[in-house]
Amino acid sequence: MTRTVTVIEPRSSIKTFGTPLDTSQLRCLVSVALSVEKENPVIVVSSDGASLCGAFCAVHNVIQQTNMDTNVDVFTSVRQLQIRRPKFCSSLEEYGLIFKAVDDHIQRGTENIYSNQ
């Protein structure tokens, strides 16, 4: 059995610091993964096996949760990932990136509700 593999990577490096913190690359990757995973599984990799993988998985899970529920719990989502993989989201900067990415996603969603498209 053969399978087609699609490799998706950010166009530029995703930074966990900076003012203002840009989450567009991370949100774009999550958006693509959400559209692709309906047909195929998604595998997340990094050079050291942990850096930014936890942030991606957390944002992915929380965005899915926002699509199903009215409430989200970022802390619990991150904690569930850390139980399986303790190195995920090991810095305060990565945790901040997750919160900002989810907030940006929610803000973008509410902007589209009121726009005339």
Per-block average pLDDT, block size 10, for the chain (117 residues)? 78 77 88 78 77 88 88 90 89 90 86 48
CA dist 84 and 95 (Å) reads 17
Residue 74's identity, in one-letter code, is V
Check: pTM over 0.85? Answer yes or no.
no
Give the residue from 79, 68, 2, 74 showing the smallest Cα distance to 34: 68
Report pLDDT for 36. 77
Angle at 8 between CA 47 and CA 51, to 5 degrees: 30
User: What is the predicted pLDDT for the residue at 112?
Assistant: 52
Longest dimension (CA), the chain: 48
State the pLDDT at residue 99. Answer: 92
Q: At what angle do helices 74-84 and 53-68 cross, to 10 degrees?
A: 130
